[in-house]
Structure 1
């Protein structure tokens, strides 16, 4: 039996990158996994790739009705959720002086509002003693040029965990944050301009990573599985950096 046999896991933003790798890892350990994505084609492809233990629900977490639809779909098949990985998020570059309202609203709607209501609306289904993992970022603790809005959203996510462990202590629901560093995903490649340009940017960042390489989605997935597992039963409100050491120097 796998470590998560008979567990029900929800992974938002599960069609690519860290979310997809984490859904795959949970399913490999025996869990029944629900993933979300905003684009039906990508969602269908992810479900096909991941196989029979995974179901997909099209949802944009910035829209509360979509979150309701997600949990309605879960409830039709299972009485409770054991683990929630609130992972969906994104952002782009905009230096101070060029930040517009659309950039601010869209980034906060997904990364802050979306995380808040993804967790809050899960509470009736989330079992007592369950686990919530939020996706933060090293940028929530460090400065990055032209990335202040995204960084602020991830700082907010980190502080959600600090407060929610108090709100949920009577139910013994743990809330932790996994904060990736430079991770080789399609989203990061797009952010860095794609193709050879993105490869060059990532290669240039390796010098600042003591581990000597960029991260892979499975590096983060394994950290999420640890935080969600019984092995982390006394880990609560913590931020686990998965960044090869770059934030520690």
Structure 2
């Protein structure tokens, strides 16, 4: 196990209590492991226990797509951790469609609930405790596909675009209370979920936009590439960063 230390030799998140959504596989599991290595006490969650919970983390089943699910998760975090100092919103995703105009209403709603409103709801439940302590970090996970607005994933990228806008506004709102809010934006990353989505996309007659070329840095991202960026943003090394969006995509997309 890699131990993450600061200059004084102390694990930099020792004493911190972290909640990570979607933390049983892929990027989320890598984030959980990095936070544990850095000394944090970690609770993670998913809709089912089908994934593998990283050793050392607590786990609770929760569906963050609903207000009731968010409330149950916030209550579990209070019971297990006694409060949350670091909140990482990793749960997300949506399947591709051949025709953006034909994406059903229920899939639009599901994409908004999972990729945007889940963060809004959970933040509203956990930020008040951070305000009372006058410290805390909230980290939202977006997608480097947002500026491309790929038609097969328009419901997903629209929800993530809303998340980025919300994250910047929330950062301004909470900064006077000592709470930092940032976004990390992964590009194409080698995860089970990402691979399954790309296979689905390849089966569609989706028109222009499908691009399977290697990112300019010469490889797909690995979960740890994103997890190390998350660790930096939630640590004191980023204590002067709020309202920022750190894009980790190997140069895959151009952002204005």
Confirm or deny that 1:248 pairs with 2:248. no
Partner of 1:58: 61
Give the counterpart of 1:129 among 123, 132, 135. 135
Partner of 1:29: 38
Deviations 1:20-75 (A, max 9, x none): 10001100111100101001343xx31xxx223x1011111112222222222222
CA contact (8 A) 2:172 2:243 kept: no
Partner of 1:167: 173
**Where do 1:1-249 residues align within 5 Å?**
1-42=10-51, 45-46=52-53, 50-52=54-56, 54-94=57-97, 95-126=99-130, 127-193=133-199, 204-206=212-214, 209-248=215-254
CA contact (8 A) 1:86 1:119 kept: no
Q: State the secondary structure of the residue aligned to 1:131.
A: strand
- Say how many residue pairs are matched: 236
Deviations 1:3-24 (A, max 9, x none): 1111100000111111110001
Larger deviation: 176-185 or 80-89?
80-89
CA RMSD of aligned residues (A): 1.9
Structure 2 residue runs without a partner (length 5+): 1-9, 204-209
Deviations 1:76-128 (A, max 9, x none): 24333111001111111122232111211111111111111121111233342
Q: Which structure: greater helix fraction? A: 1
Structure 1 residue runs without a partner (length 5+): none
Shift of 1:203: 9.2
Larger deviation: 84-93 or 136-145?
136-145
In 2, distance between residues paired with 1:204 and 1:130? 39
CA contact (8 A) 2:35 2:231 kept: yes
Larger deviation: 120-129 or 172-181?
120-129
Shift of 1:226: 0.5
Shift of 1:225: 0.5
